[in-house]
Amino acid sequence: METVGHASEAVGRGANRPVPTAPGISLPFALILQRLLRPQRVWYALAVWLEARPWAYRAFTALEKTVKGRLFGCRMCAQCALPSTAYACPMSCPKELRNGPCGGVGANGDCEVYPGLACVWVIAYDRAAGAGRTADLRRLQRPIDQREWGQSSWVNYWQHRDAGLWSADVSFAAAPPIGTR
């Protein structure tokens, strides 16, 4: 265990590796943006328009990557979980856990892989609790489609491709078969 405390050496400095990230905007503000960006006719039309023009899609995706990368540590999995995680990105967890924290979270709430950085699920829980939205975290998150990396999650979202990413139920009743989305 000599490596403990030297996270960068032990984990590596490779590009696009997940590093737990505290969101750059508050949950109430994120929820206002969520309302503006929710699927509706104008966004659907924009998504269709973008997908028909590779250059525009590339430019839009680069913009999305910059904005969400800065704000949330987004790595462009293209299947955005943020609305269900108090806008703390679970793909910034070193284990990419979409259903909650692992058992290795430090007593102080730090990530086991990056001591000194808070576990992204501890951040998510605190933000959700502050807004009375912890039930959101109870939803079962389905496995992501690994083919989608690098695509635009907004374009997917506006065309309803994200439907079924997580379960609607928050009661812990037996979930339906996992299936494909």
Partner 1 sequence: MNPGSRLRGALRERRFAVTAELSPPRGADPEAIRRGARALHDWVDAANVTDNQGAMVRLSSMAGCVLALAEDVEPVMQLQCRDRNRLALQSDLLGAAALGIPNVLLLTGDHQRFGDHPDARGVFDLDSVQLVWTARTMRDQGTLLSGKTLKPPPSWLIGCVENPFAPPLAFRAERLGKKVAAGADFVQTQYVFDVPRFAAWMRAARELGLTQRCAVLAGVGPIRSLRALERMHQIPGIAISPEVEQRLRGVAPERVLPESIAICIEIITELRAIPDLAGIHVMAFGSEQLVPEIVEGAGLGRRAHARVNERVG
Region binding partner 1 by CB under 8 A among candidate stretches 59-67, 77-85, 150-158, 168-176: 168-176
Pair 84, 10: CB distance under 8 Å = no
CA distance 10 to 23: 25
DSSP 8-state symbol, 78: S
**Of the candidates 72, 66, 80, 94, the residue with the CA atom closest to the CA atom of residue 21:** 72
* Binding-residue pattern over the window 29 to 68 for partner 1, x denoting contact by CB under 8 A: ----------------------------------------
Counting beta carbons within 10 angstroms of the beta carbon of residue 87, is it exposed (0 to 12), middle (13 to 18) or buried (19 or more)?
buried
State yes or no: residue 8 binds partner 1 (CB under 8 A): no
Closest approach, Cβ 100 to partner 1, in A, equals: 5
- Sole window of 33-41, 65-73, 104-112, 147-155 interacting with partner 1 (rule: CB under 8 A): 104-112
Question: Are 155 and 50 a contacting pair, CB within 8 Å?
Answer: yes
Binding of residue 129 to partner 1 (CB under 8 A): yes
Where do contacts with partner 1 occur on this chain (CB under 8 A)?
Answer: 1, 3-4, 7, 10-12, 94-109, 112-113, 119, 121-122, 125-126, 129, 134, 137-138, 140-143, 146, 167, 169, 172-175, 177-180
